[in-house]
């Protein structure tokens, strides 16, 4: 075989490997109810912060606890073993990657969608956004 053939086969093998890793790493977006049905399975839940419920950070256990509401309207207590993210109360939407237990959702990673500073500036200036 020529060197170009070997290089092409190697490139194809690497591409197939990268695709397989991406597929296996992809999370499924669900609500808290489906996550509870399959406890221990890693899911991604998109929801909102329940601003009426209490938030608590236990420094000794390094655990932040809050209540979230998923897009289906179900409330669930969430444990996050990291400090409270900055401007958490201002978030418009919360994406939580983790798994459900019998009592709560254990978030391993939290991503927040915060209000855009550009939208706030446009509202203040009186401009309409399209």
Mean pLDDT of 28-51: 89
Q: Which residue range forms the structural domain that includes residue 33?
A: 28-119
Kind plus residue range of the DSSP H or E element containing 63: strand 63-70
pLDDT, residue 92, reads 86
Count up the domains in the chain and report the number: 1
Q: 82: which residues sit within 8 A by CB, 6+ positions away?
A: 62, 64, 110
Mean pLDDT of 72-87: 92
* C-alpha–C-alpha distance, residues 110 and 69, integer Å: 14
33 lies in some domain:
yes
50 lies in some domain:
yes
pLDDT, residue 123, reads 54
User: How does the average pLDDT of the chain come out, rounded?
Assistant: 84
10 lies in some domain:
no
68 lies in some domain:
yes
- Paired sense of beta strands 63-70 and 93-100, if any: unpaired
pTM of the model: 0.68
In 3D space, the residue among 58, 50, 96 whose CA is nearest the CA of residue 74 turns out to be: 50
The CATH number assigned to the domain holding 95 equals: 2.40.50.140
**Phi and psi torsions of 104, nearest 5°:** -165, 175
């Amino acid at each position: 075989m020529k060197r170009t053939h070997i290089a092409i086969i190697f490139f194809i093998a690497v591409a197939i490997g990268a695709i397989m890793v991406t597929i296996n790493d992809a999370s499924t977006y669900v609500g808290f109810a489906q996550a509870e049905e399959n406890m221990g399975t890693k899911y991604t839940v998109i929801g909102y912060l329940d601003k009426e419920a209490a938030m608590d950070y236990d420094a000794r256990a390094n655990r932040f606890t809050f209540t979230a509401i998923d897009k289906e309207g179900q409330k669930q207590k969430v444990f996050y073993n990291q400090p409270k993210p900055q401007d958490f109360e201002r978030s418009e939407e919360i994406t939580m990657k983790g798994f459900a237990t019998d009592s709560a959702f254990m978030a391993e990673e939290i991503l927040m969608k915060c209000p855009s500073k550009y939208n706030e500036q446009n509202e203040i200036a009186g401009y309409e956004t399209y």
